[in-house]
Structure formats: C-alpha cells, structure tokens
Amino acid sequence: MSLDQNLDKILIIDFGSQFTQLIARRIRELGIFCEIISHKKIKIFDISKSVKGIILSGGPLNVDQINKYSFDKKILELNLPVLGICFGHQILSKLSGGKVKQSKHREFGLANIHKKNNSLLTSNFFGTKKSKEVWMSHADQVSKLPRNFKVIASSTNSKFAIVENSKKKFYGVQFHPEVTHTENGKKLLSNFIFLICKIKKNWSSKDQKIKLINDVQHQVGTNKVICALSGGVDSSVVAQLLNKAIGKKLYCIFVNTGLLRKNEETQVIKTFKKRLKMNLIYVNAEKEFLNKLKNVSDPEKKRKIIGNLFIKIFERYSKKIKDVKFLAQGTLYPDLIESKSVTGSQTSKIKSHHNVGGLPKKMNLKLVEPLKFLFKDEVRKLGLELKLSKEIISRHPFPGPGLAIRMPGIITNEKIKILKEADYYFIQALRDHGLYDKIWQAYAALLPVKTVGVMGDNRTYEYLCLLRAITSEDGMTADFYEFKKSFMQIISNKIVNSIRGINRVVYDITSKPPSTIELE
C-alpha cells in the first residue's frame, strides 16, 4: 500500500507499537512525507529510490521473535540512515551484532538521560544541563553494543539510551522521542531527518490538497460518488475535497439518525445545500434507526447496527442516483489504527469504529477514503486550505454512532430528548465562556442510573448527567480539562434547572488511557 512512489520520504517500518502513527505524524509536522509499512510486509525490493531514511518503530515483540520471515535483514544493507526507536533500537542492535536481554528494572514512564558523547542526532537537543527527561516504555534492553557503535546518552537503568554508528548512519534510542512527554523529542526526529537523511521539506496542506484531489480524480474517473456527510469536520472536508475534485458528480447524503446533536440537521442543510451549493440529499431515518436499536444495550451491537443501517441507507439512495460506483467516507488514520492495524502489525482491537468495523463484507459500492492516512489536525489544516469556514473546521469531533454511545443502556425517545438538551447547554456554555476552542472534545452523556434529589419541597428521582471535556492532540491519548469551580457551578445549575429528567451532574476526570473518550 503506497501513497506515492515519487516523493522523497521516510519509511517507517512498523513492529506494532501504538505509537507508530505518532512517529508518522511528527515527521509530517516537520514537513516531510512518510509512509508506514508492516515489518512483515516490507521486502527489500519495495524500497524505492525515494526512500531517504528508515525508522524502525517500537513494538510488543522481543527480538527473538523476529526472524528472516518477519523482517528482511538486508534492508539494513542498503546504505540508508536508520533510526531504531525502543524495540526498533533493540532489533537494530541485535541485527548489527549486539545483544538484547530482559532488563532487571522495567522502565515505564519518565526517566532522565544524560549526555555521554556528541552526535549529529542530538545537536541542540540536550542544552546546557546535558540531560533530558524522556518517555520510556520497555521491558527488554540492549545489553551489549555491536562493534563500531558508541554510547551517546544513558539513563540509570538504560546504559544504551542513545547509541550510534555514525559511519553507517545507524542510530538507536531506547525511549520514545515521538511522544510529547519526551522533552525536545521532536528535535531528535528533526535532526535525523534533516541532518542525517538530508531530506528537503515536501509535505504541506497545500501539497496534500493537490495530491488528494488528483488521487480522487484518478480513482473515480467519470463515475458518480455518494458521500456520507454528517456535518462533522472529517466528512465536511471529504465532501469539499470531492466537490473540488469532481463537482456535481458528487452526491452528499445526509442521514438524520435521530441520534444527532440538537439542531444539527438544520445547520447541515444550511451550510452544504444553501451556502456551498452541493447536491445534498436529506434522509430522515430517525424511526428506522430507533426501531432497530430498540432494547439494544450492548455497545458493540449498537455500533454494528448503526454502521450496517448507515450503509444500507446509502446503498438504497445510491440506487436512486444512476450509475453510482463509489461511497466516500471520512475515515481517518486513528480510526484504522484502533480497529485493525492499517499496516498489518499487531495493534490490538479496542473498539469497532462504525465506519470501519461496521462495514458489511459484501458491499456494492467501492470506497473513497481520501483522509485515511491523515491525522485530525492534518484534516483541519486541509479543510482551511479548501476554504471551509473556521466554524466547521474547529468543531469538536462527533462519533458516527452519535448519541447512542453517549447513553449507556437502552435508547429511548425520552432519553434522547433529555440528552440533546443537556449537550446543547454544555456546548453553548463552553462557547459563551470562550472555552470551546481550548477543548478538543466535549459532550454530555446520560447514565442509566437515577438518583434522588430535592427541588423546592419535592423529592426528585431522575437521571445522572455526565459531562466530559478533554484535551488531546489526536484523540489517541487525552486528559480531562480542568474547569474552574465557577464554570462547573454555572453549567450544573443550568442543566438541572432547565431539563426535566436530570437532577445530578457529574464530571468525568479520567484520562485516555485508561478510559476512552466516548463511554461506549
């Protein structure tokens, strides 16, 4: 699976780390094109002239599990610069003649590394203190360096925290420079790319726009495409991209599942049909969705039902438009990573995101997923490049299954009505207090629990409303947002006083991991 054969690039060989996609993201942020490929799939002849450097990712394996069938060692004989990260560092050392064994002390979390020698990789990285805080996550470590390697930095538990063979341009780091917890980590990646691989910047939103428009034109030819428009950032960007690429051959289908946010359908029609003048087909499928979801409380079942019904409706409407061959979706990179590794490596399944896991195997439409290699922030930048309004671009993400997964337990009309109001007041309050753009995603959820309250002289017995607001870079990890008490009081009063059915508000203070952003 290759995005582009000709662009100069960094190739990331994935050994199954949850952070592999972050490495890619950091490199793209530095303005360089990169691709990820599984260690099992990469063969030496896949490595074209446009590859200017190789990064070996971390992963859950140990070095003895890698044999000639699962990684072609000849890749290290191509005279290309190589950076091994965590497991990548261990396998690079092992294949170069060093030894790896289980560490006496596993290192997870922050550790201090201290400079031992100069290296191009660490130019302007350490600063005057000659030490840096880095993020470690490993149980094994290099115990003996290969010949012609030297130590650049060590931590208390990892003698070989950074190593190099400058002649071969092989570098290894035991920690994760790609995660934000590693102080100045991006500088290491930047040094590898610019000073060692000597690659020139070639990846910007403008480059992406041109390339993606060309790709779409190439993929769909003169055929018609229907687009699953939800009004969220991803599908809006897809729609606008296709609008630019194929104009009126694009038919946007907007399905009202009955599980959308308050007034969402009106806003979508106003923006896309009236302002952007796209072919927009509005389908009110509220009853159909709610019927199918009746008495269903299992989260995965909800997702599957919603995903399948979505596709059925698209197919139904696509048949009404003659000669439709393609269905466009706003699938993003993180959607693919968490459901099924895009690269074939061993990341575990966490949730079946509806636009991936829910797809029926036998689909009559081919997929157009132009954003599937992009991260959310790349999509936002692309959206601006495509001249979508800032209001659309800065909207918080909203999951395909909508309010269904913010309402653990069974779904009823009454609960939907209550939840739409609570969410509306919460989001409105965030906007009114200038907090909306500081938060990556926020929502209200309705828990399937009733608790006792007292209002006036009366006892109430009503639902519990949970508020969630998180900061994140890409939805893969997240932290809860710290509101001031005064704001929490305002929103809790507003919800309890305005909505019949809720008499208690709680705030979710878990990060991701261990929780996920959505409740189901």
Catalytic residues: 86, 176, 178
Binding segment (CB under 6 A) for ligand XMP, from list 255-263, 416-424, 494-502, 510-518: 510-518
Are the CB atoms for 452 and 504 separated by under 8 Å?
A: no
Instruction: State how far the Cα of 302 lies from the Cα of 314, in Å rounded to an integer.
Output: 18
Return the bridge partners of 471, or none: 479
Residues between 470 and 489 that touch ligand XMP (CB under 6 A): 475
Which residue among 59, 299, 400, 408 contacts ligand XMP (CB under 6 A)? 400
355 binds ligand XMP (CB under 6 A): yes
Q: Between residues 84 and 475, which has the closer beta carbon with respect to ligand XMP?
A: 475
Residue type, 228: A
Q: Between residues 349 and 390, which has the closer beta carbon with respect to ligand XMP?
A: 349
Query: What minimum distance in Å lies between the beta carbon of 458 and ligand XMP?
Result: 37
345 binds ligand XMP (CB under 6 A): no
Three-state DSSP state, 407: coil
Alpha carbon of 366 to those of 248, 318, 413: distances in Å? 19, 12, 35
Residues 6+ apart with CB under 8 A from 195: 120, 121, 123
Binding segment (CB under 6 A) for ligand XMP, from list 111-119, 130-138, 287-295, 347-355: 347-355
Instruction: State how far the Cα of 134 lies from the Cα of 174, in Å rounded to an integer.
Output: 10
402 binds ligand XMP (CB under 6 A): no
Instruction: State how far the Cα of 435 lies from the Cα of 473, in Å rounded to an integer.
Output: 16
Query: What minimum distance in Å lies between the beta carbon of 518 and ligand XMP?
Result: 3
518 binds ligand XMP (CB under 6 A): yes
Binding segment (CB under 6 A) for ligand XMP, from list 170-178, 216-224, 456-464, 509-517: 509-517
Kind plus residue range of the DSSP H or E element containing 233: helix 233-246
Instruction: State how far the Cα of 157 lies from the Cα of 113, in Å rounded to an integer.
Output: 9
Which residue among 31, 344, 397, 453 contacts ligand XMP (CB under 6 A)? 397
Query: What minimum distance in Å lies between the beta carbon of 297 and ligand XMP?
Result: 17
Binding segment (CB under 6 A) for ligand XMP, from list 80-88, 248-256, 350-358, 491-499: 350-358
Closest Cα to residue 377, out of 237, 210, 182?
A: 237
- DSSP sequence for 386-402: TT--HHHHTPPP--TTG
Residues between 424 and 463 that touch ligand XMP (CB under 6 A): 441
Residue type, 45: F
Which residue among 353, 380, 420, 468 contacts ligand XMP (CB under 6 A)? 353
Instruction: State how far the Cα of 4 lies from the Cα of 499, in Å rounded to an integer.
Output: 53
Number of residues that bind ligand XMP (CB under 6 A): 15
Strands (E), 155-205: 162-165, 170-173
Q: Between residues 53 and 232, which has the closer beta carbon with respect to ligand XMP?
A: 232
Q: Which residues bind ligand XMP (CB under 6 A)?
A: 303, 351, 353-355, 397, 399-401, 441, 475, 512, 516-518
